[in-house]
Chains A and B, each alone.
Chain A
Amino acid sequence: MAAEQEGATGGWFGESEHISRLPGKVFAAVCLSATLFGIVMVAGLLVYVTKDAIRPFTANPGWFLVFFLTLVLPSVAALGYYSRRGDGEATVALTALGIPFFGLLLGSGVLLLFIDVLSVVEWFAFVVAAVVAGGVIVGHRRLRAGASFVEEFVVGAASLVVLAPLTFEFVSTFPTVPQAWLIYLFTFGLSGAVVGGLIVARRRNDQRAGAIAAGALFAVVTAGVFIDPSTGITPQIWVILFTFAGMPTALYVEAVVRSRQRRPLGLLFPLIVVAGMLLGAVLVDLLGFAGPEAWLDFQFLTNANSRFPEEAGIYPALIGSVMMMVVVAVSSFPIGVGAALYLEEYAPNDGPLGVLVRFIEINISNLAGVPSVVYGLLGLALFVNWLNFASGIVVVGGMTVGLLILPIIIISAQEAIRAVPSSLRQASYGMGATRWQTIRRVVLPEALPGILTGSILAFGRAIGETAPLLMIGAAASVFQPPDGFFDIFSAMPRQIYAWVGQPAYEFQYGVMAAGVVTLITVMLSMNAAAILIRNKYQRRS
């Protein structure tokens, strides 16, 4: 309308800018302020909680000064220099710092798992069982190359369902098994070296280079076993940490050095950071500057709960949360994606059955909005009272929270599958592919990044859920991490809830804040890992 009127007066649309652009500008400003409001509120809350958890003001000013000079200033300066050069050095620097860091985190997680949950004998039995089952399947394919799908399926199912558990039971009764470090060396170390070799071989398109790389990695991990244990690095710790942190770092360094022969300066960045940390620590010690009396410190992460705030820790709840998330992922992800695939690809669209399907879909959407406490009651009724599981065990908690996020996974997976262009399906059918082949090779790989995005959000919600855990009877105080999936457990949000109810002020503010920061950190690193996996698939497709 405006354009026509202006056209009638002879002017061009947009010539008198303020008339046509003002509403747009206002709208943009409103959107911006809404975004900023959300971000500032959440960030403010996080800063407040972190302040309570770290208590920065209890530290000596000299402590801050020393670390500012040794750590913050050099690393910021280095980063600034890299980004000024503008040829990707900054990315290299951050990746070179991030890979060993996340590798160490992951390795420590695996170590914790072996210290508290899995015994090395069980791990050994598990590996042997997997090798046996895998060997049978591969051997069968070799011997009977033209076997029908049904035969392959039967052999695969039999070896996985019957042979593997039998082997597991058999091996776990062995009177002698290899030393723990040998088991780790030949499971983690060897497979890590093989994966590294394969990566190098693919990257350079050179089988020999791959073999050399694998051999070198395995030689290093084997040699490291002979480090004197009195340094605190026992063979077990070395093997696992090197596999998870050392090998990816070595591969990354190799890639950078090879691809940019000019100046791999970014690789110096982790050295700057680590040297700054060490130097700062030594100087602080020499000068006698006290650091902050943080609630969130190493002993908080490794201690069990206690009635004394200074000794209280989150360790059993942390392990409980991680194990619960394993159950959540195993129980909800396959079912959710399967349901979404059926509803989108197989379910009838029209006729009376189509109406039924639509009715089911509407109900699933509604279920996503049901309050979590209702799912807690459902879990209590279904798993504890009806299926007679003990209350408050890991499996019950995980399956209850899994039910809670199942509708979210289904809906997001459905959206992702629907977003795959139907021209891809038509092309696949045109090539003569069956529906199953089309779904497996075209639709699913194309939809996977979207499915993972939705699932990651759902898992992030799952780890923070408290109400279902209260309902199924996850205890407020557990002093030992669960030994297996049928043990009683407590999870981090449940533990935080218990701390808030304590009479002592230190629990309600300090210890609780440390717990919140730990929970958020675990959640963010889980999400980061999942996003990395998603990006990998995205690039491939």
Chain B
Amino acid sequence: MTQQTSKGTDGVSRRKFLVGAGTAGVVGIAGCTTNPGASSGNSGGNGSSDNGNSGSGDLSGEVIIKGSSTVYPVSEAMAEEFMKEHDVNVSVDSTGSGGGFQNHFCPGNADINGASRPIKDSEKQLCSENGVKPVEFQVASDALTVAVNNNADWVDCLSFEQLSQIWRPDGAQKWSDINSEWPDKEFELYGPASSSGTFDWFIDNVIQDADAIRDDYEPTEDDNRIIQGIEGSKYAMGFFGYAYYEENKNNVKAVQIKENADGSCTEPSIENAKNGDYPMARPLFIYAAQSSLEEKEQVYAFMEYYLKQAETDIVSRIGYVPSSAELRDENLSKLEQYSSN
């Protein structure tokens, strides 16, 4: 501040020097310029995600997938493979089928929702209130697996009726209530939480004469906790998607299932689910928002890829039954109705 007084010829000449040096520098640099195209500057400047980026493909933007934790591994695999070919940012989240519809898909914050059961009427209602129209595609099947502890040597096969006795409200309390030869010990039950599609499927198809599961079991969204619970107690039982059983074949014992007392016991496996022998095979779905399919090119392209690949080994390696060739063609022709071009 005190030096301000001495601004005279000195200051001017310094400024002149700066201007001169600056000009010389600019001229010098001009020789070493590049032309990345002003468009790349634009796309960054706007901060918006869906222009610019002329990467490997001509697609860009985001695809947001929420929903079932059972379908999550499939969607994750599809996203991973799809993104090797296209410069699209696919994000996958596991929120439970109901949680996804309720909090993300129907409010319009997601493009696709995975579901391990068909969409409910109440959810359709919520979606239409927000102007979201869900389009259903069945992409795979799962052999829902009931598992017990490795040391539970008394039980090998259970019928729907017995499962219902165990899991319905006010049902059996001890193993001996089901079969008098079994131990006189109480059940220790682990199962999915109520936001899960597996929970809903089990109520609708196994516990037929009641509309709820007993409330004295250990509910969790994390299927690994169910397996750990079963591992930890000889008298435990739980159920979850087949993929989790396949990873833990040595840790827990899968129970064979028969639909009624004179049916034949069938063990859960991809083959048995595929040929229809396993009674607890259930379809897995994804729901796409119609507006996303029609308006977002990248969502349509991703769905096309998903539906095609759903028939391949990607799905069976995860531990689910891939969709049949007929189902794939049916899905693709359904998808074509929403093509924007």
Residues of A within 8 A of B (CB): 118-119, 121-122, 125, 142, 145, 168-169, 171-180, 182, 304-307, 384, 390-392, 473-480, 483-488, 490, 498, 500-505, 508
B38 touches A173 (CB 8 A): yes
State whether A178 and B33 are in contact (beta carbons under 8 Å apart), knowing that A145-B4, A500-B224 are contacts in the complex. Answer: yes
A415 to B321, CA, bound (A): 61
A478 touches B89 (CB 8 A): yes
Q: Say whether B91 faces chain A, with CB atoms less than 8 Å apart.
A: yes
Residues 102-154 (chain B) with a chain A CB within 8 angstroms = 103-104, 109
Partner of B248, one of A119, A122, A142, A503: A503
Q: How close is A456's CB to chain B, nearest CB, in angstroms?
A: 30
B319 touches A119 (CB 8 A): no
Residues 45-93 (chain B) with a chain A CB within 8 angstroms = 45, 47-49, 62, 64, 66, 69, 72-73, 76-77, 79-80, 83, 89-93
Most B-side CB within 10 Å, residue of A121, A384, A477, A501: A477
B72 touches A307 (CB 8 A): no
Contacts of B246 in A (CB 8 A): 503
The 8 closest A-B pairs by CB, nearest first: A172-B41, A475-B91, A503-B247, A475-B93, A477-B92, A176-B33, A503-B244, A121-B41
A142 to B8, CA, bound (A): 12
State whether A391 and B104 are in contact (beta carbons under 8 Å apart), knowing that A488-B89, A501-B223, A503-B248 are contacts in the complex. Answer: yes
Contacts of A306 in B (CB 8 A): 80
- Across chains A and B, the number of contacting residue pairs, with CB separation under 8 Å, is 137
Partner of B41, one of A122, A473, A484, A500: A122
A487 to B63, CA, bound (A): 12
Q: DSSP majority for the A interface? A: loop
Contacts of B319 in A (CB 8 A): 503
A323 to B48, CA, bound (A): 17
State whether A487 and B4 are in contact (beta carbons under 8 Å apart), knowing that A178-B34, A504-B247 are contacts in the complex. Answer: no
A500 to B221, CA, bound (A): 12
Contacts of A480 in B (CB 8 A): 83, 89
Q: Which residue of A lies closest to B91 (CB)?
A: A475
State whether A307 and B36 are in contact (beta carbons under 8 Å apart), knowing that A501-B223, A505-B247 are contacts in the complex. Answer: no
Partner of B42, one of A172, A476, A503: A172
B64 touches A475 (CB 8 A): yes
Q: Say whether B162 faces chain A, with CB atoms less than 8 Å apart.
A: no
A307 to B47, CA, bound (A): 30
Residues of B within 8 A of A (CB): 1, 4, 7, 11, 29, 32-38, 40-42, 44-45, 47-49, 62, 64, 66, 69, 72-73, 76-77, 79-80, 83, 89-94, 103-104, 109, 222-224, 243-244, 246-248, 318-319
A490 to B37, CA, bound (A): 31
Partner of A476, one of B7, B94, B243: B94
State whether A121 and B44 are in contact (beta carbons under 8 Å apart), knowing that A175-B38, A391-B109, A498-B94 are contacts in the complex. Answer: yes
Contacts of B94 in A (CB 8 A): 476, 498, 501
Q: Which residue of B lies closest to A171 (CB)?
A: B41
A161 to B41, CA, bound (A): 20
State whether A488 and B29 are in contact (beta carbons under 8 Å apart), knowing that A121-B40, A173-B38, A478-B91 are contacts in the complex. Answer: no
| 7 contacting pairs across A/B (C-beta < 8 A) | A168-B45, A172-B44, A476-B72, A477-B91, A490-B91, A502-B224, A504-B247
A32 to B77, CA, bound (A): 51
Q: Which residue of A lies closest to B38 (CB)?
A: A173
Most B-side CB within 10 Å, residue of A168, A174, A475, A503: A503
Q: How close is A93's CB to chain B, nearest CB, in angstroms?
A: 42
Most B-side CB within 10 Å, residue of A172, A479, A488: A479
Partner of A177, one of B33, B72, B223, B224: B33
Contacts of B48 in A (CB 8 A): 486
B35 touches A176 (CB 8 A): yes
Contacts of A500 in B (CB 8 A): 222, 224
Partner of A479, one of B47, B79, B224: B79
B224 touches A477 (CB 8 A): no
State whether A479 and B90 are in contact (beta carbons under 8 Å apart), knowing that A178-B34, A179-B34, A484-B47 are contacts in the complex. Answer: yes
Contacts of B41 in A (CB 8 A): 119, 121-122, 125, 171-174
A487 touches B36 (CB 8 A): no
Other CB < 8 Å A-B pairs besides A475-B92, A486-B49, 9 of them? A174-B38, A174-B41, A177-B33, A476-B94, A480-B89, A486-B48, A487-B62, A503-B223, A503-B247
Contacts of A182 in B (CB 8 A): 29, 32
B38 touches A473 (CB 8 A): no
Contacts of A478 in B (CB 8 A): 89, 91
A288 to B189, CA, bound (A): 52
B47 touches A180 (CB 8 A): no
